[in-house]
Amino acid sequence: MGKPIQIVDTQKSDIQQRVDTYIDEQSKLDLLRFITCGSVDDGKSTLIGRILYEAQLIFEDQVSALKNDSKKHGTQGEDIDFALLVDGLAAEREQGITIDVAYRFFNTDHRKFIVADTPGHEQYTRNMVTGASTADVAVILVDASQGILTQTRRHSFITSLLGIKHIVLAVNKMDLVDYSQSDFDAIVEAYGVFSAELSFESVTAIPMSALKGDNVIQRSDKTGWYSGPTLLSFLETVEVGQAQLEHPFRFPVQWVNRPDANFRGYSGTAVAGSIEKGQKIRVLPSGEVASIKDIVLYKSSLDNVGAGQAVTITLDRDVDISRGDVLVTADKPCEVSDQFETSMVWMDQEAGFVGRSYIMQIGAQRVNATITDIKYKYNINTFEQLSSRSLGLNEIGELTLSLDKEIPFESYKSCKAMGAFVLIDRYSNATVGAGMINFSLRRAQNVHRQALVVDKKARAKLNGHPPRVLWFTGLSGSGKSTIANAVEQELHKKGIRTYILDGVNVRHGLNKDVGFTDADRIENIRRIAEVSKLMVDAGLVVLTSFISPFRSERDMARSLFDPGEFVEIYVEVPLEIAEQRDPKGLYKKARRGDLPNFTGIDSAYEAPDNAEIEVATGELSVEEGVAKIMKYL
């Protein structure tokens, strides 16, 4: 009875050893992320399905399910439709298209892979950007029977913008052109002409048929004239990531690790370079210098850390470090700035406007960011640069951003992790834009505040009262100007120094160049907020009477002032009453269509959520409204 048990145990031990060996070998493989992109029906999903199938990377039950699904939903008759391995959503199968980014994970004996199958439609540009943002290689498919299309140019432009250096020009469906070398050469030549303007390091053209399997994994005998690699052999051998390993050390702090009073560490992932125990680091943006005492990985102590490793670093002395700070090589630090030239992909239905403020998430840090200029947006089908003051869904443009504090950064082309960011809406918390820092603006380093001896406090003391801004907001016809005038008279009687900035009057001077589109309204309020800030600094009580329809801009204005200085007064009136009053006949013109973008009719008014004072002029007289404001003041 003993021998069989011993044989079984020996077999189990041998199997376990082989499993352990396999797991160890797989753990040492590097990872390649790549995307497939191209026009609709160029065969992206079919190509990925073919790779998974031929490399025997799917299970038998998946193969059986694929064969059954091919009969129900496939487009290849009785043959297997490999696209169904990727197009997993029922809605996509019914339409025969991919509308979302589908990720697949697989590995060979040489490498591990994550592939993103991105949609070809122009309206899903933001989806493609999401898939391409972390990719090392882009496989751009071209239908051999159709040649270079507009979407080929568009996808190539986006991949270049996102810093992907290695391109596979997969000339697919060669079976439709009888594997013609002349057709293949013509497509390669045409692609080379326009891609010369883009920032690719290499373009590898491969003739293939994803449907038939030619040159996907095995070399095809139908393209004897082709001597280059198959797709899989290229993906297994292309070198990527070396530049980040050779880059100076960059370590954004994600968490200050303090389990007890005896330990203070800084946890995060090294995004570039490497560093060893004992080396000096610099903390940005503060600039303080210290030496690395230890590099901790769970219970182990490491001698060094390199790009891609998540560790906890301890220093030889206490330094003020917070989440979002960056540890860098002491003698090779990155730049610090608060103004940037950026490339932006807009990802929200509501457009982005010059003057509007958002939250910028860059690494582990969140800062307030304002779009101060849109230099141009691209026609991404022709690469033409178009003038614009707004950026709509799926549009790409060059923007200037101004932050409320300095941050450490690098250009996206130099270090993706230090130059990539997203913009977040303050109210919905939705991601509205994905951006890449190109460079900091020189004026950010050259423009410094001049120290003044007579300050706001001194001016307030001379005036005998603290400065304020009384920000009146409400629909046209609500009574803002009337009440603001009456409040100023009351304050004037008390010897308080005041000034009114009225919406109509200001448009005759300072803002006479500003129209009434959403973008213009945002710029209108930005200017008024900045002027109000100067007047408050001068020690005055300034009253502003503007519709100021958007919460975002009113909050931007509030953020310019010290606590207690900004008093929002919502002059509330139902739209129907405002229309009945209509002292200037504006509502009638708007209803006739003679006055486009009129607030309350075809342009939105976003009522305040928490105004300090609310005056309902449909219920209160002017005197009662003034009394309510004066009581608060």
Task: Indicate which residues carry an active-site annotation.
Answer: 548
Element spanning 485, H or E: helix 480-493
- Establish whether the linkage from the previous residue to 252 is cis, with ω within 30° of 0: no
Burial state string for 100-124 with b = 16 or more CB within 10 A and e = fewer than 16 = bbbebeeebeebebbbbbbbbeeeb
> DSSP secondary structure string, 429-451?
--EEEEEEEEEE-HHHHH--PPP
Residue owning tokens 């051998």 = 237
312 - beta bridge partners? 267, 296
Distance CA 472, CA 554 (A): 10
Element spanning 579, H or E: helix 575-581
The number of CA neighbours under 13 Å toward the Cβ of 434 is: 21
Q: Is 416 helix (H, G, I), strand (E, B) or coil?
A: helix
Written in H, E and C, the secondary structure of 341-394 is EEEEEECCCCCEECCCEEEEEECCEEEEEEEEEEEEEEECCCCEEECCCEECCC
Distance CA 276, CA 304 (A): 4
Angle between helices 44-54 and 60-73 (to 10 degrees): 150
Q: Within 10 A of 452 (CB to CB), how many other CB atoms are there?
A: 9
Cβ atoms of 527 and 510 within 8 Å: the answer is yes
What residue ranges in 410-555 does DSSP mark as E strands? 420-424, 431-440, 468-473, 498-502, 541-545
Q: Is 26 helix (H, G, I), strand (E, B) or coil?
A: helix
Distance CA 122, CA 350 (A): 18
| Contacts with 161 (C-beta within 8 Å, 6 or more apart), sequence order | 343, 396, 436
Q: In angstroms, what is the C-alpha Rg of the chain?
A: 31
Cβ atoms of 175 and 184 within 8 Å: the answer is no
Nearest residue to 46 (alpha-carbon basis) of 208, 221, 229: 208
Distance CA 81, CA 66 (A): 8
Distance CA 105, CA 128 (A): 18
The DSSP letter of residue 596 is T
Angle between helices 125-132 and 150-161 (to 10 degrees): 40
Cβ atoms of 120 and 100 within 8 Å: the answer is no
Phi, psi of 211 (to 5 degrees): -70, -45
Amino acid in position 602: D
Positive or negative torsion for Cα 173, 177, 181, 182: negative
Helices (H), 112-230: 125-132, 150-161, 181-195
Give burial (CB, 10 Å; 0-12/13-18/19+) of 498.
buried
